[in-house]
């Protein structure tokens, strides 16, 4: 089995059973473990007719390698995937209040996992990522997302700029986050159909992505100079700040 077919950790496995049980084929739990949450996972898995085995810690280590498994891993037959053709239906179902997170080239699986966790908490309509030059949803992303990778519609697209134009045709306003922008995030209306576009860790928004956005905005950082010239937040932190400003306005 390749590592991509396994997820590890209490939150990730618990969420996979709750949200995507039909694709969980087997759960392995550390023999002799006393954590009551592992017992809860075992009970939920058996209730969902998922095979459960108690195994030695070494067996869990061998399955997931360097991932911290917390005494439990689950094997996927096929994780739920979303096709870019489904995006239109998701936008229409949001009835004028779609909230889309677009990540332009995030490379670190821990950052993507953290972004998905914020996205799930904010109730996003979808998360869009490029198929190329971007980390995809893998075992590390699933672990870091604490199960959010199974509850959020993550849509890999072939051409990001074209996907943004398709969103615009569906009535979605595209805001790109850029440190040099004049407009503040807190000065714009985020209550309608909105897509928030964040760039990757190294280069930020790519030129074509930037040019496709309807407007560029920035997160004001009054402490930037005092902190030694901090120009940008970590992408996962920026995603959380941006998404929950939208949540605040919509609340």
Last residue within a domain, chosen from 76, 99, 114: 76
SS3 69: coil
Are residues 161 and 138 located together in one domain of the fold?
A: yes
Binding residue positions for S-adenosyl-L-methionine:
199, 219, 233
Number of domains in the chain: 2
Are residues 70 and 93 located together in one domain of the fold?
A: no
Q: Which parts of the chain fold into alpha helices (H)?
A: 10-20, 36-47, 57-64, 87-93, 109-122, 139-144, 148-151, 160-169, 207-212, 235-250
Q: What is the pTM of this model?
A: 0.75
Q: How far apart are CA 215 and CA 9, in angstroms?
A: 39
Are residues 72 and 91 located together in one domain of the fold?
A: no
What's the CATH number where 244 sits?
A: 3.40.1280.10
Are residues 146 and 130 located together in one domain of the fold?
A: yes
Beta-carbon contacts of 170 under 8 Å, excluding residues fewer than 6 positions away, are 88, 91, 92, 193
| Three-state secondary structure string covering 175-191 | EEECCCCCEEHHHCCCC
What's the CATH number where 12 sits?
A: 3.30.1330.30
Are residues 234 and 167 located together in one domain of the fold?
A: yes
CB 29, CB 56: distance < 8 Å = no
Are residues 167 and 57 located together in one domain of the fold?
A: no
Are residues 53 and 91 located together in one domain of the fold?
A: no
pLDDT by residue for the chain (251 residues), tens digit each? 333 478 889 988 998 898 878 888 899 999 988 899 999 999 999 999 999 999 999 999 888 877 789 999 998 775 567 899 999 999 999 999 999 999 999 999 999 999 999 999 999 999 999 999 899 888 778 778 877 887 899 999 999 999 999 999 999 999 999 988 999 999 999 999 999 999 988 788 999 999 999 999 999 987 754 443 334 688 999 999 999 999 999 98
Candidates 214, 44, 81; CA nearest to 157 is: 81
Candidates 71, 21, 81, 78; CA nearest to 51 is: 21
Are residues 27 and 111 located together in one domain of the fold?
A: no
Last residue within a domain, chosen from 76, 92, 124: 76
Are residues 18 and 142 located together in one domain of the fold?
A: no
Bridge pairing between strands 126-130 and 194-199: unpaired
Last residue within a domain, chosen from 54, 76, 98: 76
Are residues 164 and 245 located together in one domain of the fold?
A: yes
Are residues 118 and 183 located together in one domain of the fold?
A: yes
Domain with 102, as residue range(s), is 84-250
Instruction: Supply φ then ψ for residue 29, to 5 degrees.
Output: -125, 140
Q: What is the per-residue pLDDT for 78?
A: 59
CA 23 to chain centre: 19
Binding residue positions:
199, 219, 233
SS3 37: helix
Are residues 70 and 90 located together in one domain of the fold?
A: no
Q: What is the per-residue pLDDT for 63?
A: 84
């Amino acid at each position: 089995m390749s590592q991509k077919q396994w997820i590890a950790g209490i939150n990730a496995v618990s969420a996979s059973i709750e949200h995507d049980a039909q694709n969980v084929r087997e759960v392995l739990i550390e023999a002799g473990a006393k954590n009551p949450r592992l017992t809860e996972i075992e009970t939920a898995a058996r209730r969902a007719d998922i095979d459960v085995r108690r195994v030695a810690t070494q067996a869990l280590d061998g399955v997931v390698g360097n991932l911290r498994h917390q005494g439990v891993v689950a094997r996927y037959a096929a994780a739920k995937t979303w096709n870019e053709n489904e995006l239109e239906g998701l936008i229409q179902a949001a009835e004028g209040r779609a909230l889309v997170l677009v990540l332009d080239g995030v490379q670190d699986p821990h950052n993507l996992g953290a972004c998905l966790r914020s996205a799930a908490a904010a109730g996003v309509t979808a998360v869009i990522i490029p198929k190329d030059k971007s980390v995809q949803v893998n075992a590390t992303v699933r672990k870091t997302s604490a199960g959010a990778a199974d509850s959020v519609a993550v849509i890999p697209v072939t051409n990001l700029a074209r996907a943004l134009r398709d969103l615009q045709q569906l009535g979605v306003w595209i805001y790109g986050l850029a440190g040099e922008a004049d407009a503040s995030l807190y000065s714009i209306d985020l209550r309608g159909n909105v897509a928030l576009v964040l760039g990757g860790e190294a280069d930020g928004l790519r030129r074509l992505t930037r040019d496709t956005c309807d407007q560029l905005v920035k997160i004001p950082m009054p402490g930037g100079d005092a902190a030694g010239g901090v120009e940008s937040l970590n992408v996962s932190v920026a995603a959380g700040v941006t998404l929950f400003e939208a949540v605040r306005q919509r609340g």
